[in-house]
Structure 1
Amino acid sequence: MPRVARSVDEEEEAFNACIQRIEEWWRSPKQAHLKRPYTAARVAGLRSNLEQKYASSDMAEKLWKQMHEHDAKGTHEMTFGTTDPIIASQIAKYSQTLYVSGSLCNSSETYEPGADHADYPWDTVPKVVEKLFRGQQWQDQRQRHYRMLHSKEERAKMDEWDYLTPIIADGDMGFGGLTSTVKLTKLFVESGVAMFHLDDLAIGCKKFTTGEGRTVIPLSEYEDRLIAARLQIDIMGAETLLCGRCDIDDSEYITNVTDPRDHEYIQGATVPIESLEKVLRAASAAGKSVLSARKQWISDSGLSTFDEAVQKVANETEFAAYKAKLGEQTVPIEQRRVIAEATVSKPVFFDWDLARIRGGQYFYKTCVKAMIERAVAVAPLTDVTWGRMDAPKWEKIEKFHQGMRAIIPDRLFLFGYTGQYDYAKAGFTEEMVKNMGVEMAKMGVVWQVQPVWAAQGMNMVVDEFAKMWAEEGIAAYVEKVQKPALAMSPNPDGFGKTSYRGAHFADGLYDAIVSRDY
């Protein structure tokens, strides 16, 4: 292979120029809010000599502008999930963005479909994003060609849709170690995604149906996951947006206790008792219900956090003194024990190892305070925040978003609606449900999504059509589908029309090839 024909001095000059460009980029309005734990020199050293530009940057800047316009106006974007380019082309007429759910991809885009356990191949969602983005580009190109076949007067009567709607995608938990997260990020940027989110759940522990909650990772590990993604975006010189999604709401376990910032929320037994793991093993061997045995152990063990264990044995004055000495700083469990000994007259029994489950995880107590602390800690690495909530309880929604904005006033948020939540049972009136999106927008929730529409809504629509087709046949199709589609005016380039299918575009390509402009 040929040797590079440049001196070391020229190499150094080019490297320093690259560092300077990166530093200038980081001072731009869109990048200035981020705080990297690494230098521009580190990024420059990890870059290729061949710098590239990605469509992902254009789409990210478009999305960034949309979200800030919504925030300034107090409005919000409403979208839903899909994996199909045809459906995406119709969403573009009513929504500014698209969402690609990992759960949906796992049930419709994999060789072996599955539930929402993030157990699909790591490149699944980026490939779906690329498919959708290519479809968007084709629709945009087709529409442009078709319009330019007409005069200005004719085009003035046509609809023109912005098919290039920014795509937001589900990155789940990064799919493995940090290098896996780096590779996932690279593929996302190359696919044309505008933004993707990474959560704080543990690899291999995302479960919804066992009667147990999900497992989160320590805050420090979550930070590393987001740093990996941010670093790769910087290496590529992309504007791609990164969302930090906090999934600790209704989670029940944490993988380990290495980060002192998590110690306040880790639970343990407050009475001497046989370990949970032994109790469950014995129940299984005896053919008894493991979930029932687990429930009984939780009750018998007095499962609680260390602070709650202190409160159980302390009088009111002692507990106030204990809390005062804790203050607002991070206090690891060892120091908490020392403070308790100095302020409480009775001994405090607390053993979080007794509560560990078969996989080694510790019990973790979720609350809005913990959500806010996590979201604030990773905010410097991310562009927006998504506090995922299994059940949108209004008090919790307000407390989280208002609490975040009290610390970071200009923070923008994403929000996902659940598919089977009983709003009436939770105390929502019809008026509250109707105004829910508007009220959240006032708190900075500028992007709101129904991720499971592609399962609930599409199944419902197909079920209705299949029933009609089976019972009424082609006559019903002509009357209820074909005639309305072909009669739409002005020309929406929709459904069965030749222009929508790209025939005119294909003719244009053929004509350009076989014709000569001279």
Structure 2
Amino acid sequence: MLKYSQLHKSGTRNILTTIRTLSSTRMVEMKYSLQDEVAKVQEWWATERFKDITRPYSALDVVKHRGSLGASNVAYPSSVQAQKLFKLVNTSFKERTPLHTLGVIDPVQMTQLAKCDDLKVAYVSGWACSSTMVGSTNEVSPDFGDYPYDTVPNQVERIFKAQQMHDRKSFLDTIEKKAQPVDYLKPIIADADMGHGGPTTVMKLAKLFAEKGAAAIHLEDQLPGGKRCGHLGGAVLVPTSTHLARLVATRLQWDIMGVENMVIARTDSCNSKLISSSCDPRDHEFIQGITNVGIEAWSEILVDLESSNATSSTIGAAEIEWYNSNKLVTFDQAVEEQLSTEEFKQYMSEKAKLKSTLQRNYVSLREMRSIAQTVAPSKAVHFDWDLPRSPEGYYMFEGGMKAAMRRSLVFSPYADMIWLETKTPDLAQAQQFSREIHSTYPNTKLVYNLSPSFNWLKQGFSPEQLKSFIWDLAKEGFVLQLVSLAGLHVDGVSFWELANSFQTDGMAAYVDLVQQKERDIGCDLLTHQRWSGAEYVDSVMKVVQNGSSSKTLSTSGESFTETQF
């Protein structure tokens, strides 16, 4: 590089010539570097990891948004964990065995899960975070997704850092005590809710999860602000295209970062009754309207009632009366009601032909109206999906397996796994879903929520069926299975049992229910100082102080009470 004094002496003309030469050289260097980086990304995408993934953007799109630092100079441990998870998922899918686990809510539960060799992954629930620790606000609440969007990533970071600490402790024990190693680094799957906003928010959220240690996240097709736990009423879906954009945004963010983290596309359409917009024709067959003519929209009636200061009970009764008087139907159901049986059969046949001709599994409302008009030119099918819309503008939606399968087929090429959220644990339903998805995408791995929201004792399972349910699901390709809130429930059950007994039995309750039980089952929390890593820190201090700290070590001498055990 020429110094300024040298350039100054050469004169203005020479300065400009030199700058042009340097700029040209730099551009050539950048061109070759850009080509090399694009080639590396293309080679990366061609690996086994991404062979089933579709991207609507190019490798150049990724490279030009990375910045000059690039991806090769930044390492994310979560990507290493994701590679581990990918191998586990693939192995389980090929063998049709479950990768089942329990949701954990703190580092204590994580360490106990880690000692179970057959539980190879960990799960962090948004529901649990919403109800037990809500980041900067400290406002616990139901699972409405209304907490700061960094809440679950911060919980992941807490769990992941604990995993790393206990891994270091175990590694040291393996070297110095010849102890059996424990795999504390179980890949973390985390709940990303609905993404908490538009594509840029989704990208920021995905970046946080990758930075903080999540090997995988799941995103559900619900609306920010209309989000509910999948087992509550009132959930609002977003159009299929909106959720697809979230999956693409997540993948792009991780491609820019150069990580292999996995994204799970979850659909709540099996249970949902509302959708935020009718903009996507892939949703049209499931949006409901009414067939009555000359009806005033419910939203207009509501405004009039509110303007007249009607009581809440009056408004509630009026709403029930309106929807009872105006049955909700899809367009297909409206056609069936208003045309003859033969005309309806012809309508369905022409509809199937159009789908085949267009090579797609959906038709729009416009196309359905056109078919109905062709089949019965002298009749007009009355159908209005705007009149029953909610005060927020949401459309009525016929949720169910058909909608869930339709959406999941759209999401499958863009996701690493597909999650079907259900109302009940139903093996026959799971088989139907699996066979529909795998008929088009045979390599799609599936996810199942073994939810504590289900009353498992009332589902008709025999003891043998209940025990085999997880393994039966795995045979259908439901590889990842999780009891999402297991940590929350066991925390409540065990502490309630202790607290309830402690109030009358004092230390006898503690010894019987905790300390003796820890001893009997070999729980390492019996010696909680050692569990926390005190010996590991002592070992580090020996190195720092060149072995001269033997008198002040925290785990030596008569002051260390755990020598009693």
Answer yes or no: same fold by TM over 0.5: yes
Task: Give the match for residue 530 of structure 2.
Answer: 499
- The equivalent of 1:463 in structure 2 is 496
Q: Who is 2:285 aligned against?
A: 264
- Which residue does the alignment assign to 1:302? 327
Question: Once the 2 structures are TM-superposed, how far is the Cα of residue 309 of structure 1 from its aligned partner?
Answer: 0.2
Q: Distance in 1 between matches of 2:512 and 2:344?
A: 74
Contact 1:146–1:499 (Cα < 8 Å) also in 2: no
Farther-moved stretch of structure 1 (223-232 vs 73-82): 73-82
SS at match of 2:97: coil
| Counterpart code for 1:9 | V
Please say if residues 213 and 250 of structure 1, whose CA atoms lie closer than 8 Å, have aligned partners that are also in contact.
no
Q: CA deviation at 1:469?
A: 2.3
Determine whether 1:397 maps to 2:430: yes
**Partner SS state of residue 324, structure 2:** helix
**Residue 371 of structure 2 is aligned to residue 339 of structure 1:** yes
**TM-score, normalised with respect to structure 1:** 0.93
Confirm or deny that 1:178 pairs with 2:205.
no
Shift, 1:321, TM fit: 1.2
Structure 1 residues 487, 411: CA separation in 2 closer, same or farther (over 3 Å shift)? Answer: same
Question: Alpha carbons of 1:424 and 1:164: their partners in 2 closer, same or farther (altered >3 Å)?
Answer: closer
Mean Cα deviation higher: 225-234 or 328-337? 328-337
Write the deviation string for residues 381-416 of structure 1: whole angstroms up to 9, x where unpaired: 110110111322333222112211122112111111
Q: Match for residue 40 of structure 2?
A: 21
Which residue identity does 2:488 align to in structure 1? A
Count of residues paired in the alignment: 508
Superposition pairs of residues 215-226 of structure 1, within 5 angstroms: 215-226=236-247
209 and 183 in structure 1: CA distance in 2 versus 1, 3 angstrom threshold: closer
CA offset at residue 282 of structure 1? Answer: 5.0
Q: Give the equivalent residue in structure 2 for 1:142.
A: 169
Give the Cα separation in 1 of the matches to 2:519 and 2:271.
Answer: 49
2:114 aligned with 1:92:
yes
Q: CA deviation at 1:280?
A: 3.8
Give, as a single letter, the amino acid of the residue that structure 1 aligns with 2:127: S
Q: Do 2:285 and 2:331's aligned partners in 1 also have CA atoms closer than 8 Å?
A: yes
Query: Counterparts of 1:195 and 1:174 in 2: how far apart (Å)?
Result: 14
TM-score relative to the length of structure 2 = 0.85
Which of structures 1 and 2 has the bigger CA Rg? 2
Counterpart of 1:338 in structure 2: which amino acid? Answer: S
Identity score, percent: 32
Q: 1:291 to 1:405 in 2, by over 3 A?
A: farther
**Equivalent of residue 342 in structure 2, options 301, 317, 322:** 317
Deviation, structure 1 residue 208: 6.0
Unaligned runs of 5+ in 2: 4-18, 549-565
Q: CA deviation at 1:210?
A: 12
- Alpha-carbon separation, structure 2, partners of 1:487 and 1:424: 29
8 Å Cα contact 1:486/1:497 also seen in 2: no
On the 8 A contact 1:276/1:356 being kept in 2, the answer is yes
Distance (whole Å) between structure 1 residues aligned to residue 310 and residue 516 of structure 2: 66
CA shift at 1:113, angstroms? 1.0
Letter in 1 for 2:160: F
Mean alpha-carbon deviation: is it higher for 205-214 or for 105-114? 205-214
Alignment gaps of 5+ in structure 1: none
Q: Deviations over 1:446-471 (max 9, x none)?
A: 11111122332211111011123222
**Aligned to 1:413, what secondary structure does the other structure show?**
strand
For 1:245-284, what per-residue CA distance to the aligned partner results, in whole angstroms no more than 9, with x for missing partners? Answer: 1111110111111111111111001112221213444566
Please report how far the alpha carbon of residue 63 of structure 1 lies from its aligned counterpart in structure 2 after TM superposition. 1.0
Per the alignment, do residues 296 and 479 of structure 1 end up closer, same or farther by CA in structure 2, a change over 3 Å counting?
same
Distance 2:545 2:468 in 1: 57
1:515 is matched with: 546
Inter-CA distance 309–119: structure 2 relative to 1 (3 Å threshold): same
Match of 1:379 in 2: 412
CA, structure 1 residues 211+281, in 2 after alignment: closer, same or farther (shift >3 Å)? farther
Distance in 2, Cα, partners of 1:445 & 1:364: 27
Over aligned residues, Cα RMSD in angstroms? 2.3
Counterparts of 1:210 and 1:29, CA distance in 2: 36
- Structure 1: distance between partners of 2:363 and 2:176: 70
